[in-house]
Structure 1
Amino acid sequence: MREFENNALFWQKLDTIFLSSTLTIERPKDSSHPKFKNLIYPVDYGSLGDTIGNDNAPIDVFCGEMKNKTVQAIIVSADILKRDCKVKIVLGCSEEEIRSILLFLNQTESQKAVLLRRGNEVPEWASNS
Structure 2
Amino acid sequence: MVGFFAGLDELVRTSDVVVDRPRGTARPRYQDAVYPLDYGHLGDTTGGDGDGIDVFVGTATGAGVTGVLLTADVLKRDAEVKILLDCTPAEAELARAFLVDLGIGGHLVKRVSGSL
Residue number in structure 2 paired with 1:113: 106
Structure 1 runs of 4+ aligned residues shifted over 4 Å read none
When structure 1 is superposed on structure 2, of 90-99 and 42-51 the one drifting more is: 90-99
What is the alpha-carbon distance in structure 2 between the residues aligned to residue 21 and residue 73 of structure 1?
17
Q: Share of identical aligned residues, percent?
A: 35
Question: Structure 2 length as normaliser, TM-score?
Answer: 0.90
Separation in 1, partners of 2:65, 2:115: 16
Aligned residues: 114
1:31-60 CA-partner distances (Å, limit 9, x unpaired): 100111000000000110011112111000
Structure 1: how far apart are the matches of 2:43 and 2:90?
27
Amino acid at match of 1:88: K
Distance 1:112 1:121 in 2: 24
- For residues 96 and 84 of structure 2, what CA distance do their matches in structure 1 show? 11
Where do 1:35-50 residues align within 5 Å?
35-50=29-44
Name the CA shift for 1:69/1:47 in 2 (closer, same or farther; >3 Å): farther
1:17 aligned partner: 11
Name the CA distance, whole Å, in 2 between partners of 1:69 and 1:25: 18
Q: Tell me the distance in 2 between the aligned counterparts of 1:121 and 1:24.
A: 26
Question: Which segments of 5 or more consecutive residues in structure 1 lack a partner in the other structure?
Answer: 1-7, 123-129
With the length of structure 1 as denominator, give the TM-score of the two structures: 0.82
Aligned to 1:47, what secondary structure does the other structure show? strand
Deviation (angstroms), 1:93? 1.0
* Aligned counterparts of 2:63 and 2:107: Cα–Cα separation in 1: 21
1:125: which partner in 2?
none
Instruction: Give the gaps of 5 or more residues in structure 2.
Output: none
